[in-house]
């Protein structure tokens, strides 16, 4: 059977792949593995549970709560809250585990379950495997006063917003900065605008009226066109886009140009280096980051460490070497001193604060990085695990790499969140990059 956990929890079609029964069973297993439910006499484990704005989150939340409470875990329901808020509150409230119901940037019909261990940390592969392996185990069930209690405290969104604002190491007013925030009709629809308003920014919010169905629907960090138009039409200084659970942040400058996670990381890494806040003078990024990021870091004398795709792998590297900043091109950026996961709202605040501190526009700040042409082709309907050992694909990759030379690269990888293979090609010539990406995608399809 295929592994349930992907790069970011268990994700699938809600009420199709991801059923209420599976959510309940996962929660019972997680309660025993993460919270050691039933292990100690008199021990009452505690969990916090949040969700994004998908309508399916309601029945999945009910299933998760039922599973946790039936295992003897007391549950605090947080309501609609960004993923980083759930992670932070898991640690802040001393909970034994946290649960976030979200499929992040995926379309509304999907949903997902993300677990956090004590302290708000994402799980490593071994712990996920243990939870999955023990799904069918028969557990001792508490009765009477031993079952879990369920409480609701949606006011904690304000606590999270205060944490994000207080996380600015060098506080600065955003008075006079006009920002458009695209909330993706998702979990950040309250917290994101509130954080910027607290710092004095002139905020215009778009896609901030979730109805349970419109999350990520032609909006947010996967559909930037509306934000780009809004920034230009309103004469804003900055546009920020989040995904459905607000752990991502992408930006738009005053002229409507996209500023991705790589460029944001370069700007913030240089700012932290200058302030003496960049631990070990090192940035952590994934293998998907643009060649321009690598060259910008080399020019600044900043060491760059690369990981597999997935912000939890970035976090593992940050934790292992006690580093302070890392992230992904997609906009998952982790400030390790303040968060245990990517935090889109904190990222956006830091970027706006750097504009205020320097007096520079985002257009001026982003000139420190030259973006090399990069093409990503998603190939659905293929055997994700058949890439290794396929000689035809290996030959096609070698031929593409030979044509690109030292100023380009090729990356093929199975998606950890969707049933497809991602083909990435990068180089100096945009036309050549596109042609090679299409050739490689055809090779992957032929090998299916």
What residues are annotated to the active site? 104
Neighbours of 446 (CB within 10 A): 12
**Token pair listed for 397:** 């990759």
* 3-class DSSP state of 269: helix
Tell me which H or E stretch contains 65: helix 56-70
Using CB atoms within 10 A of its CB, is residue 99 exposed (0-12), middle (13-18) or buried (19+)? Answer: buried
Q: What is the DSSP letter of 82?
A: -
Cα(278)–Cα(257) distance, rounded to whole angstroms? 27
Residue 274 CB partners (closer than 8 Å, separation 6+): none
Matching residue, tokens 């699938």? 12
Q: Are 377 and 438 in contact (CB under 8 A)?
A: yes
Q: Are 418 and 368 in contact (CB under 8 A)?
A: no
Q: What is the DSSP letter of 385?
A: G
Cα(385)–Cα(399) distance, rounded to whole angstroms? 22
Q: Are 112 and 10 in contact (CB under 8 A)?
A: yes
Rg (Cα) of the chain, in Å, rounded?
A: 22
């Amino acid at each position: 059977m295929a592994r349930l956990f992907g790069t970011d929890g268990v994700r699938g079609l809600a009420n199709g792949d991801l059923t209420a029964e599976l959510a309940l069973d996962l929660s019972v297993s997680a309660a025993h593995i993460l919270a050691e439910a039933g292990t100690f006499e008199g021990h009452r484990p505690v969990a916090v549970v949040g969700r994004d704005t998908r309508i399916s989150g309601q029945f999945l939340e009910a299933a998760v709560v039922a599973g946790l409470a039936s295992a003897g875990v007391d549950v605090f329901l947080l309501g609609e809250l960004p993923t980083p808020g759930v992670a932070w509150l898991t640690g802040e409230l001393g909970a034994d585990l946290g649960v976030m119901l979200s499929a992040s940037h995926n379309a509304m019909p999907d949903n997902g379950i993300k677990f956090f261990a004590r302290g708000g940390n994402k799980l490593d592969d071994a712990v996920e495997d243990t939870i999955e392996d023990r799904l069918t185990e028969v557990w001792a069930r508490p009765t009477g006063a031993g079952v879990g209690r369920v409480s609701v405290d949606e006011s904690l969104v304000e606590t999270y917003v205060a944490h994000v604002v207080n996380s600015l190491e060098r506080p600065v007013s955003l008075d006079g900065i006009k920002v458009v925030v695209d909330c993706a009709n998702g979990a950040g629809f309250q917290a994101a605008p509130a954080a910027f308003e607290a710092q004095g920014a002139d905020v215009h919010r778009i896609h901030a009226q979730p109805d349970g169905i419109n999350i990520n629907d032609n909006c947010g960090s996967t559909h930037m066109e509306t934000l780009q138009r809004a920034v230009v039409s309103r004469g804003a200084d900055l546009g920020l886009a989040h995904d459905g659970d607000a752990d991502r942040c992408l930006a738009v400058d005053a002229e409507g140009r996209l500023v991705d996670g790589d460029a944001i990381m370069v700007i913030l890494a240089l700012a932290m280096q200058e302030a003496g806040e960049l631990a070990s003078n090192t940035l952590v990024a994934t293998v998907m980051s643009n060649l321009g990021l690598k060259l910008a870091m080399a020019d600044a004398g900043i060491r760059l460490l690369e990981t597999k795709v997935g912000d939890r792998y970035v976090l593992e590297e940050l934790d292992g070497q006690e580093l302070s900043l890392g992230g992904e091109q997609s906009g998952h950026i982790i400030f390790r001193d303040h968060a245990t996961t990517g935090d889109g709202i904190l990222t956006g605040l830091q970027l706006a604060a750097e504009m205020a501190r320097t007096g520079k526009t985002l257009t001026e700040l982003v000139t420190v990085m030259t973006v090399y042409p990069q093409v990503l082709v998603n190939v659905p309907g293929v055997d994700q695990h058949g890439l290794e050992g396929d000689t035809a694909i290996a030959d096609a990759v070698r031929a593409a790499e030979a044509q690109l030379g030292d100023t380009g690269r090729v990356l093929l990888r199975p998606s950890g969140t969707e049933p497809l293979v991602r083909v990435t090609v990068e180089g100096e010539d945009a036309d050549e990059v596109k042609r090679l990406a299409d050739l490689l995608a055809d090779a992957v399809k032929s090998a299916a």
